[in-house]
Amino acid sequence: MCPTDPATRPAGPGGDASGSALFTDLYELTMAQAYAAEGMAGRAAFEVYFRKLPARRNFALAAGLAPVLDFLESVRFTADEREYLRRDGRFSEAFLDRLSAFRFTGDVEAVPEGTVVFAGEPILRVEAPIIEAQLVETFVLNQIHVGTVAASKAARVVLAAAGRRVVDFGARRAHGVEAALIVARAAWLAGADGTSNVLAGLRYGIPTYGTMAHSYIQAHAAETEAFERFAALYPGSTLLVDTYDSLEGVRGVIDLKRRLGDGFRVRAVRLDSGDLAALAHQTRRLLDEAGLTEVGIFASSALDEYAIAELIRREAPIDGFGVGTRLAVAEDAPDLDMAYKLVEYDGRPTYKLSSGKVLYPGRKQVWRRTREGRMAGDVIGRAGEIQPGEPLLRPVMSAGERLPAGRASLAEARETARRSLAALPEALRGLEPAPEPYEVRVSEELRACLAALSRAPISNA
Amino acid sequence: MCPTDPATRPAGPGGDASGSALFTDLYELTMAQAYAAEGMAGRAAFEVYFRKLPARRNFALAAGLAPVLDFLESVRFTADEREYLRRDGRFSEAFLDRLSAFRFTGDVEAVPEGTVVFAGEPILRVEAPIIEAQLVETFVLNQIHVGTVAASKAARVVLAAAGRRVVDFGARRAHGVEAALIVARAAWLAGADGTSNVLAGLRYGIPTYGTMAHSYIQAHAAETEAFERFAALYPGSTLLVDTYDSLEGVRGVIDLKRRLGDGFRVRAVRLDSGDLAALAHQTRRLLDEAGLTEVGIFASSALDEYAIAELIRREAPIDGFGVGTRLAVAEDAPDLDMAYKLVEYDGRPTYKLSSGKVLYPGRKQVWRRTREGRMAGDVIGRAGEIQPGEPLLRPVMSAGERLPAGRASLAEARETARRSLAALPEALRGLEPAPEPYEVRVSEELRACLAALSRAPISNA
């Protein structure tokens, strides 16, 4: 294993942080050209937050900051990209010239990756000349969104597993190579033990795990032959027993012990179909009766936090879980209603009142109080306010340059997550909605500011 | 617009087809080393299929073949990647040497992108020396899976819109940059009219669309000022009216017409919150009363096929839909239970009987019968059988080289999808499950083959 700091790696194949400024919604470019034409060069502040938690969730776990900062440091319009825009016909030569010199020169504040966050709380704020802040919207939202979606799901799986091993098996079902890397990274950040994704191992220094596939068993003339060959080559391996019949497979492993004696080094069997709880009990009994008390049971097959909790409720003697598809796509909540909203332009707080989508004006901060080591309520207020508790947003980039807090390693983010999850109030740790949601208050000053602004005749004045 | 053939583009930033062989589950590498150590060099056939349709789906639309073929042509282990594996400690120098020369030299058959497919039907088959076929599993599955998930969702959205314009707005909520590109491509393939994703425009030659964001309105002192400036710069633009109050916004557009007279070139207004059907009716009335009958209505905000169908049922006078999050993550079915299974090794058909996951042995073909231009039943049989109907799987790669059928352009795939969706039986076109699922039969010969094999004492013989 060679841990590498994802925050400082250049984008590679299967790229996470591409640095291509053209990954943007078209309107960002047309608006940017309009700002340029209108001479609007004021500084803008945009904040990222999500509007509400998915139905069955009690919290989210922030992630995705590292690739955002990578992007902001490297974002450029290449000659090919400018040529594409020229042929498009919507853009002037003056604007295209401007794009050739485009750099991100702004400031960023953000909550550290691995921090528990709630609806309405700013996770990240970009402050920059409005053209810059506007052009990076799509990438910033995309990465904070998917990172947070993946880390939030993984945190639930890790909590449900209650100390048993959790390994990300989702590479084949994540939404692309990049998504698989994001999920592996987010799962590790949230406390999983590793991943089957070897590229994620290289990229992020995450421990990699693997067992064997049905195809390996099938390619041999007999299951026992496959077991014997694989075990001989890989002491400490995990043998997949369900290709033809799970308990027959377990008996095949026991038979291998009889034949190999002290040479037997199999560490675990893997169950991958059927009633996993019942099979795990039967498997444990067979193994124990044969004296193989050291051989563990690893389970996979459509697992998620709900399935794991149910297996544990049924006291299934399972030592570790391979969690694939449902983690990889965050199946029960594959998206968050996340936005990147203008809260200040040229020193003036801005807001919006679109039906059901109220936006509080101005630059904000979140303060978190704790009591006896547990989170005890958050306040969202104006950035300059004095409030009790720890402020969550911290400067991570200044004038386009990363600050020390923007260089947190993945190991540090994992530690942040561990501490943040340990501080969750008990009622929020369960899989079902807490009787009372966590208290997140909007400060008096911030409420007053919105009220004052929305009384002012801004719209169609 | 400059259409480029995705099938022949090298992987770029935000990469879709990375060519990195290290994007693989660890067990592919350990199994490959075992095959090498055991001298198992026989040819293997692996087939990709999904086990069942998600609850509310009547069909899937195959996609993802082009990036798979790009990958198979370019897949390599780089020196850095081999060095990472060396440090890992699980792999011998002999095996690492072998990886340095690793190339894909196999054959591939596949259904064309844009073909309607059903549970159990092989979508793609890889035939190659077993080490090669095993090592590419993770990437092949990943790309066919996400492509098919995205195209299947997009096809439903397009069918629901019943001829109205559909634009992919999902870039910010897809699971990464690559996922956003995959979704934009899949949506276009399935019949959408374009995307907001500019990088997808460059990469795939898809038409790009954009309106304006709330931030542009907010950054101006008044909404009317923002409308006037934007409309002056972009004749034919779409103005977003809901920042403060949707109908007030529409009145602002009407006011702009009064002030600009013949200089008024606004093409549409965009509704993005509230009761879209009610607002669309009210907006249409206001615009028509002001003589602005040529100004269209474009809608966005949490749209998907269900919301669009409901808007159409309420006769909302909406001309086009921006479909974001729920398309981008395929919210109601973000995954398919898709597998890559060994069906033949060294000339011997293989199978498996894992509980609930039966696999039919041997290389297969799917034949589709049509009646009066509509699909009238499929048969899955052994590759050599004679069956009525059109065979769906076609050779696309031979000995690692793309065949003409493997060079289908995105425009051709879009045409395949158009024809394939037009041939759907009426009962399968709706959003809810058809009373009777589409008929997919397993041939007598194939059933007999499984029965014969599973009677044979293969397991633990």
Shared domain for A305 and A364, answered yes or no, is no
Question: Does residue A182 sit within a domain?
Answer: no
Residue B407, domain CATH: 3.20.140.10
- Nearest Cα to B44, choosing from B304, B451, B361? B361
Q: Nearest-CA neighbor of B350 among A274, A213, A220?
A: A220
Residue B461 lies in a domain: no
Give me the pLDDT at residue B11, please: 34
Least CB–CB distance from B459: residue in A171, A213, A222: A222
Give the DSSP letter string of A44-71. EEEEEEES---TT-S-EE---HHHHHHH
Distance from CA of B343 to the nearest CA of A (A): 9
- Same domain for B216 and B129, yes or no, is no
Contacts of B208 in chain A (CB under 8 A): 26, 88
In a domain, A157, yes or no: no
Cβ contact B207:B187 at 8 Å: no
Closest Cα in chain A, distance from residue B64 (Å): 10
In a domain, B460, yes or no: no
- Do A229 and A253 sit in the same domain of this protein? yes
pLDDT score recorded for residue A456: 63
Q: Write out chain B residues lying below 8 Å of A341, CB-based.
A: 214-215
Is A27 in Cβ contact with B215 (below 8 Å)?
A: no
Last residue of a domain, one of B311, B328, B345: B328
Residue A248 lies inside a defined structural domain of this protein: yes
B276 and B342 within one domain: no
Task: Give the closest residue to B359 by CA, choosing from A244, A223, A225, A302.
Answer: A244
pLDDT at residue B458, as a whole number: 46
Residues of chain A with Cβ-Cβ distance to B350 below 8 Å are 215, 218-219
Are residues A117 and A215 both part of a single domain?
no
- Quote the pLDDT of residue B405: 97
Q: Which of A26, A269, A357 is the best mutation test for B, with the most CBs of B within 10 A? A: A26
Residues B24 and B135 in one domain: yes
B50 token code pair = 């999904």
Q: Which domain holds residue A225?
A: 211-318
The CATH code of the domain that includes B201 is 3.20.20.70
Work out the pLDDT band at A3, boundaries 50, 70, 90: very low
pLDDT of residue B122: 98
Please say if the pLDDT value at position A459 is more than 50: no
Task: Identify all chain B residues contacting A80, using CB atoms and an 8 Å cutoff.
Answer: 202
pLDDT given for residue B456 in this prediction: 63
**Tokens found for residue A180:** 């698989």
Higher per-residue confidence, A56 vs B412 = B412
Number of domains present in the structure of chain A = 2
Residue B440 pLDDT: 97
Confidence (pLDDT) at A297: 98
Domain co-membership, A13 together with A115: yes
With contact defined as beta carbons under 8 Å apart, do B67 and B203 qualify? no
Residue A5 has pLDDT above 80, yes or no: no
Q: Dump pLDDT digits (tens) for A260-306.
A: 999 999 999 999 999 999 999 999 999 999 999 999 999 999 999 99
Q: Which residue among A176, A242, A357 places its CB closest to the CB of B178?
A: A176
B86 inside domain: yes
Contacts with A68 (C-beta within 8 Å, 6 or more apart), sequence order: A17, A108, A110, A124, A139, A140, A143, A144
Model pLDDT for residues A81-113, shown as the tens digit of each residue: 999 999 999 999 999 999 999 999 999 999 999
- Same domain assignment for residues B419 and B345: yes
Q: Which of A20, A216, A352 sits opposite B214 (nearest CB)?
A: A352
| pLDDT (tens digit per residue) in A385-420 | 999 999 999 999 999 999 999 999 999 999 999 999
Residues of B in contact with A216 (CB under 8 A): 31, 34
Pick from A90, A428, A245, A395: nearest CA to B458? A245
Same domain, B398 and B432: yes
| ipTM, two decimals | 0.95
Matching residue, tokens 């092989």: B122
Same structural domain for residues A95 and A118? yes
Contact call for residues A120 and A438 (beta carbons, < 8 A): no
| Encoded tokens for B87 | 């440090």
Is B38 or A357 the better-scoring residue by pLDDT?
A: B38
What pLDDT, in 10s, does the model give residues A115-174? Answer: 999 999 999 999 999 999 999 999 999 999 999 999 999 999 999 999 999 999 999 999
* End residue of a domain, out of A318, A342, A358: A318
CA distances from A305 to A152, A302, B291 (A): 11, 10, 57
Q: Tell me: pLDDT of A225 over 70.
A: yes
- Helix H or strand E encompassing B82: helix B79-88
β-sheet bridge partners, residue A42:
none
pLDDT averaged per 10 residues in sequence order, chain B, 461 residues: 30 48 97 98 98 95 97 95 96 97 97 98 98 98 98 98 98 97 98 98 97 95 96 96 96 96 96 97 98 98 97 98 98 97 95 78 97 97 96 98 97 98 96 94 94 66 36
In the predicted model, is pLDDT for residue A72 greater than 70?
yes
pTM beyond 0.90: the answer is: yes
- The answer to whether position A25 is within a domain reads yes
pLDDT in tens, A358-391: 789 999 999 999 999 999 999 999 999 999 999 9
Are residues A446 and A386 part of one domain? yes
3-state secondary structure of B81: helix
Looking at B266, B297, B328, which one is the last position of a domain? B328
User: Which pLDDT band, with edges at 50, 70 and 90, does A18 fall under?
Assistant: low
Residue B403: the pLDDT is: 98
> What pLDDT, on the 0 to 100 scale, is given for residue A352?
81
Strands A165-168 and A194-195: parallel
* pLDDT on residue B3: 29
Q: Is the pLDDT of residue A457 over 90?
A: no
Contacting residues of B for A179, CB less than 8 Å apart: 146, 175-176, 178-179
CA B140/CA B149 separation, integer angstroms: 14
Q: Does residue A158 belong to any structural domain of this protein?
A: no
- Contact call for residues B63 and B413 (beta carbons, < 8 A): yes
Whether residue A15 is predicted with pLDDT greater than 80 in this model: the reply is no
Contact criterion met (CB < 8 Å) for A178 and B23: no
Which of B146, B325, B460 has its CB closest to that of A223?
A: B460
Domain match, A10 and A147 both: yes
Q: How many angstroms separate the CA atoms of A283 and A318, rounded?
A: 10
Query: CB of B374 within 8 A of CB of B425?
Result: yes
Residue the block writes with tokens 């770029």? B12
